[in-house]
Structure 1
């Protein structure tokens, strides 16, 4: 155990900054490997500096000098989403929870330190909300929580707004994008349902990030809000290669192929349907696992839900829903299936269901669908077919 004072005792009070090439490597993080092997992404001094400026922009995360930022997201996950660098740039206070990311110690930290802004993946906030149901406390010191890494269930956004007076700021990004790619701040003047429609999206791209949609045939698709294709991006803090790995299929003449599938509206807002490897191809039609997960998690008895595609003799693939019920809940899978009636198209309603104790997660808290598929393949899931 070291103290800060002990480490700096007897050291010089000034530091001579070295002259380095701004485009030289400053740090490296590895992708979380949710759909494949982890790959190294190298960040330059220049890309970190420019990304930090965007984190402080008012139409971005809007980190300000007076903020107390709670960086729940770990340093090894896209450098804590750039928050430590941006905090030093703008002069904000930084609260780091160490390894204590469980709901109870996190709630204690929020009560003690009164952060004004926080950032983490959805599962962290789902767990915190369930904890607060049984151990109520005021967390309204946080004006916003920035949520990325995977799609935020609309039910979770409304819960934090209505029950905790905390606004959820939906964002999209990847390790490859440093990670800030888009932020869902609604256009000025929007209110009510119109405002919520924008907040449900993954957001609008900042000026430094160019984005486009590409179809299966390689053609660039229009930003009309309905055309669906793979998202490609480029910009000054977006990687153009992986460290020591030849992954030419991930890049398209300077554009990063994200593997995310979605649409972009004429006013530049991104809505993602799924990861290309997670989307379910059933009878020639696509089913979004994300949309199904959000619909199922809208049920008051559901703590978590993850959807994967499983083989089907007739339809090639059909969705399997893995559900974690809230403590004490006795809801059946038949009742959950009935709950989806009218919320998704009839042909998308899943027949395959399994109740599990917890959804497997990656090191950064994302749903690990690779493990879920392996459990299904190995017969480790007790599946009910309705």
Structure 2
């Protein structure tokens, strides 16, 4: 097993360049990876999430050696593997499409890399036996079947078996559950989690599904436009986002973001919007930091999670903001949560309620509250967190 370390990795693509490209040719470059620094501990599972086109899969391919880089270094442990070919890196990779040999039964799909190396039959059998035991109940029944006779979930298990049988030092998984239905996805990701924890293999897990990343990973890296925005546990990135992008991206539903102006009224700081008489009193513990950042009189963004908004008035006024809003729409989810789509002035907010006795109908107005201390404050100009 080994840790993974990326130091200043740069990967560019040239979408407009001609087929026979010369370095002197004029062509605009797109940064797929823009000076990426990332460290994954030995035995750790790192989830990588981000919007489509942010560089997640490119990051995986660079670690695997399938893409060459312009700058930077890739290390496995203390070993520089930047110039090593994929087969020299000791990796196991599971693709979104599984990549099984269609003309071979499962046993031969597993045995193929060892037959190429002319391993003795008894050693191949030992490898297959170990893999079957690892993948658990029902896997032996798949050994004699062709890929076309397997379900999507079974194909995924075989692909994972091909990864495990090689005893790699690093697992690389590229959205392996994306083609499964919701129920099977939950079951399969729990199987994957057991395997990853059993082997303690350093793993990079790329996914667009935040719930998968949370369920499987020790830590999460959030990417945007080829850069790593934040790395941490889910609790860290959810409760303490470093910027507006992370705040708006992490979480389902995402954080409510209000553009307000910080003003001083009678010695107290207030975040507000004069047009709609929207005034949120700044907690005392925030004032010093906001003054030090010279934010008084400037625009900022206040964020509050939907689950932190409550229906009805709160008897306590200490640190509580109460507002009246129009309910534009509502929906009740399958797990009995209610989403209320609210409008206050030109701002739209989402409130997520769990233990509710009644729900206001669309078109009605109602009172809502939230604790200001549960909110986050960001600099509108650069998006960085001021209070997080």
Q: Whose strand fraction is larger, Structure 1's or Structure 2's?
A: 2
With CA pairs under 8 Å and 6+ residues apart, which has the higher RCO, 1 or 2?
Answer: 2
TM category, shorter? 0.3 to 0.5
Q: TM-score, normalised by structure 2?
A: 0.33
- Structure with larger Rg: 2
